[in-house]
Amino acid sequence: MDLDAYRDIAPYRGQDFLDAVERVKHNAEGIESFLGSVCTLETKEQRKALKRKVEYILAKLDEVRDYDEFQRFITAGVFLPMIVENSITEFTFSGTDELDSSMAHLYVSNHRDIVLDCALIDLALDGGGQMLCEMAIGDNLLTNEFVTDLFKLNGGVTVKRSLPMREKYVESMRLSSYLVELISEHNKSVWVAQKSGRAKDGLDITSPSIIKMLHLSQRKKGISFSDVVNKVRVVPVAVSYEYDPVDVIKAKEEVHTSFFGGRKKRLYEDLISISRGLKGHKGRVHIAFGTPIQGTYTSSEEVAAEIDRQIHTLYTLWPTNLFAYDYLNESDQWASSYADFDSAEFLSRFKGLKKEVRSFALNAYANPVRSFLAAK
């Protein structure tokens, strides 16, 4: 695999990695601001603790030599534990013990949070003794050099979205070729979301085009569709948040779009969503890894359906999901599963909202239950 051919979209390696580390080391204020965005800084002791973490990261940057070490010692070692401590009641994962730790995989998960889905998957892989993964994220999030450096130091793969249609297709082919070669030749895992953009309505459906492009990128080599699928060893992953910190924001956006059509995002809108998603209360979070998709497949739709089946059956259905389902259906089917749940407090999240927005938000919590029941 010629890694240099993908240098512009691949994570930093070699001298590019070391140069970026130097740039980040000279921006202690940026590191402090980034860490401060996910924790509370109301007391003197909290501010001192943050300073200590910044000093630890600056010292650790002198030691890391590749993005695996950056992920393990800085992201999984400092940043993600801060998120878990400040916004997650309990973080759990399952299924990693069923995966071959010596083999790379293409992890395909549902997509609820702009950056946290892939980060928590990496944390689970680290805790489960699996190799860490590269992660594909759109270039619309790379707003400046500092953010780009952090992303690419952390194993980030750039998805170029702001291109004309024909160029975007060519670039998608190139990205797909990188993913296949990375896994099959370089034996390095990678994460992609099951579709472009977050599932704001709680309906997690895989786009077959992701699988189709993997095959198209290899067709000139004479590799069959099934061979490509087997080479990348797709592992479906279900990410289940008890609470979505931006549930109301998503609902307002989608209801507005349904009434008035598409809209242009405001400047820094994605960064605001990222910050709220990282810092906001998520309750319990569970990451469930499925089994590698292997065998004879004839179409991308067939593979996408299997990814969906696994994700939907792997959901952890929290009281928020089960109560919302019963509430909207005026039933008590799941009542025993949320007997101690404070439903009044949950409903107060949506107090004062327009009827359409409230309904959308509640359905976003209920839809995973519907998908689970349909898959079962």
Residue 77 is given by DSSP the state: I
Cα distance between the two ends of the chain: 41
pLDDT tens digits along 78-114: 999 999 999 999 999 999 999 999 999 999 999 999 8
Helix, strand or coil for residue 109? strand
pTM of the entire predicted model? 0.95
pLDDT tens digits along 323-359: 999 999 999 999 999 999 999 999 999 999 999 999 9
Residue 74: closest CA among 89, 87, 55, 91: 55
Which pLDDT belongs to residue 369?
98
Which pLDDT belongs to residue 267?
52
Stretches in the chain below the pLDDT threshold 70: 262-269
Q: Which two tokens stand for residue 93?
A: 């994962």
The total of other beta-carbon atoms located within 10 Å of residue 266's CB is 8
Which pLDDT belongs to residue 333?
97
Half-sphere exposure of 309 (CA within 13 A, CB side): 10
Which pLDDT belongs to residue 255?
93
Which pLDDT belongs to residue 39?
85
Residue 297: closest CA among 285, 305, 287: 305
Please give the backbone phi and psi of residue 158, each rounded to the nearest 5 degrees, phi first. -85, 125
Alpha carbons 209 and 135: distance in angstroms, whole number: 18
Please give the backbone phi and psi of residue 375, each rounded to the nearest 5 degrees, phi first. -70, -35
Residue 236: closest CA among 316, 295, 291, 192: 291
Alpha carbons 90 and 283: distance in angstroms, whole number: 7
CB-based contact 288:240 (threshold 8 Å)? yes
Alpha carbons 48 and 60: distance in angstroms, whole number: 18
Which pLDDT belongs to residue 42?
87
